[in-house]
């Protein structure tokens, strides 16, 4: 695939987020998905483009559900996993070694497990364990399957009595479909400001922490650039001191402040002060506000805008957004090292 074809393919995938969410949301859950019970914890296991769905679900539940949600991005599951844990393993490919390792450990704990994947070893293992498997369509890059993965995860959590997401999903689908063309035009302008610059994405709420992370991962993998993220108010207790240095870097840094209606008024004020400090020495700053009513619509509105910026930045810099050769190479090298 050449660069132009890669751009067209990734743009189509990114623009198709509402359709993916809608499609995933209308599928029936497989038999065996656990129902409401006295859960002690929810653990979402996954890496990279699969893990972000768990982060979004976690941030939705932080404010609405008494059961703590732990995101596990590693080989080992946390000690909090017990028989009263619902563990969801998310791996688009089904072949990610950290996720496979964590899933294998989970089997030994007797926790309730659900797998979301397009196939691979994870699907095979889960079927052997008689765990429910939600199969998502295969053949696209994992990071471009956000709608399938998140749209599968939320109904599982709802079925388990851990939240009500149906209405939020419907609102998000409608909003993203209605606003995507305008966001794309906005993304073209924003991407032009990021050429040869370091993006610094500042989130101002727990919900937007995931949107900021999604911006970073999509800028890394689609546009093939480094991106830094930071969180307010925490930023004001450490990173603020280092702002502006090294000066050469600050001069080439564009600050992107993400805001939403639940941003605490004091945090909003903090962002204003941070941007005032940045007027001295930083390249420039922009403030972006989430759209939508529900938390899901709000977090996805800024995530989709970030996805579009990453694809437009790839186009402007002549980069093919589709391949992630370094990730593939690392996975191959690690697989070889296991066989040796």
The CA-based angle 182-265-202, given to 5 degrees, is: 55
221 is known as an active-site residue: yes
* Catalytic option among 23, 121, 239, 331: 331
Give which of 63, 105, 76, 72 is closest to 90, Cα–Cα. Answer: 72
Instruction: Write down the least CB distance from residue 16 to ligand F6R, Å.
Output: 15
Among 49, 147, 292, 295, binds ligand F6R (CB under 6 A): 49
Instruction: Write down the least CB distance from residue 335 to ligand F6R, Å.
Output: 13
* Catalytic option among 221, 260, 283, 291: 221
How many helical (H) and strand (E) elements, i.e. helices and strands, does the chain have? Answer: 13, 9
Report the site for ligand F6R in 92-151 (rule: CB under 6 A): 92-93, 96, 99, 141-143
Contact between 284 and 193 (Cβ < 8 Å): yes
239 is known as an active-site residue: no
Give which of 85, 56, 33, 87 is closest to 150, Cα–Cα. Answer: 56
Among 53, 59, 85, 91, binds ligand F6R (CB under 6 A): 91
Report the site for ligand F6R in 194-233 (rule: CB under 6 A): 221
47 in contact with ligand F6R (CB under 6 A):
yes
Q: Tell me the two tokens of residue 332.
A: 């191959």
Question: How buried is residue 104: exposed, middle or buried, by Cβ count under 10 Å (0-12/13-18/19+)?
Answer: middle
Instruction: Write down the least CB distance from residue 225 to ligand F6R, Å.
Output: 15
50 in contact with ligand F6R (CB under 6 A):
yes
130 is known as an active-site residue: no
Instruction: Write down the least CB distance from residue 54 to ligand F6R, Å.
Output: 11
3-state SS, residue 321:
coil
Residue closest to ligand F6R, measured at CB = 48
18 in contact with ligand F6R (CB under 6 A):
no
Strands across the sheet containing 228-231: 228-231, 198-203, 253-259, 284-289
Among 8, 70, 275, 327, binds ligand F6R (CB under 6 A): 327
Give which of 118, 76, 120 is closest to 98, Cα–Cα. Answer: 76
Instruction: Write down the least CB distance from residue 126 to ligand F6R, Å.
Output: 14
303 in contact with ligand F6R (CB under 6 A):
no
Pairing of strands 284-289, 112-117: unpaired
Instruction: Write down the least CB distance from residue 305 to ligand F6R, Å.
Output: 18
Give which of 121, 119, 114 is closest to 53, Cα–Cα. Answer: 114
Q: Of the listed pieces 87-95, 170-178, 183-191, 238-246, which binds ligand F6R according to CB under 6 A?
A: 87-95
Give which of 27, 84, 85, 88 is closest to 57, Cα–Cα. Answer: 88
Interacting residues with ligand F6R (CB under 6 A):
47-50, 91-93, 96, 99, 141-143, 221, 324, 327
Residues known to be catalytic: 221, 237, 331
């Amino acid at each position: 695939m050449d660069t132009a074809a890669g751009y067209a393919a990734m743009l189509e995938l990114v623009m198709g987020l509402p359709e993916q969410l809608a499609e995933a949301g209308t599928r029936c859950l497989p038999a065996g998905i656990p129902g409401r019970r006295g859960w002690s914890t929810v653990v979402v296991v996954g890496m990279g483009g699969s893990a972000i769905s768990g982060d979004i679900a976690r941030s939705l539940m932080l404010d609405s559900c008494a059961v703590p949600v732990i995101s596990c991005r590693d080989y080992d599951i946390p000690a909090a996993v017990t028989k009263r844990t619902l563990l969801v393993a998310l791996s688009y490919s089904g072949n990610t070694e950290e996720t496979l390792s964590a899933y294998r450990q989970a089997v030994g704990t007797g926790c309730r497990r659900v797998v979301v994947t397009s196939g691979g070893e994870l699907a095979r293992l889960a079927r052997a364990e008689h765990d429910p498997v939600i199969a998502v369509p295969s053949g696209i890059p994992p990071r471009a399957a956000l709608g399938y993965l998140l749209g599968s995860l939320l109904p599982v959590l709802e079925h388990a009595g851990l939240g009500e997401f149906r209405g939020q999903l419907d609102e998000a689908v409608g909003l993203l479909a209605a606003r995507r063309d305008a966001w794309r035009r906005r993304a073209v302008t924003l991407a032009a400001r990021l050429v040869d610059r370091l993006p610094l994405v500042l989130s101002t709420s727990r919900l937007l922490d995931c949107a900021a992370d999604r911006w970073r991962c999509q800028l890394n993998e689609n546009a093939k650039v480094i991106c830094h993220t930071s969180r307010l108010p925490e930023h004001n207790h450490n990173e603020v001191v280092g702002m502006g240095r090294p000066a050469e870097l600050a001069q080439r840094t564009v600050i992107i402040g993400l805001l939403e209606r639940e941003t605490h008024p004091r945090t909003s004020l903090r962002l204003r002060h941070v941007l005032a400090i940045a007027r001295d020495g930083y390249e420039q700053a922009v403030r972006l506000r989430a759209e939508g009513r529900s938390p899901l619509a709000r977090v996805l509105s800024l995530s989709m805008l970030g996805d579009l910026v990453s694809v437009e930045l790839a186009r402007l810099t002549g980069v093919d957004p589709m391949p992630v050769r370094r990730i593939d190479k690392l996975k191959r090298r690690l697989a070889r090292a296991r066989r040796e």
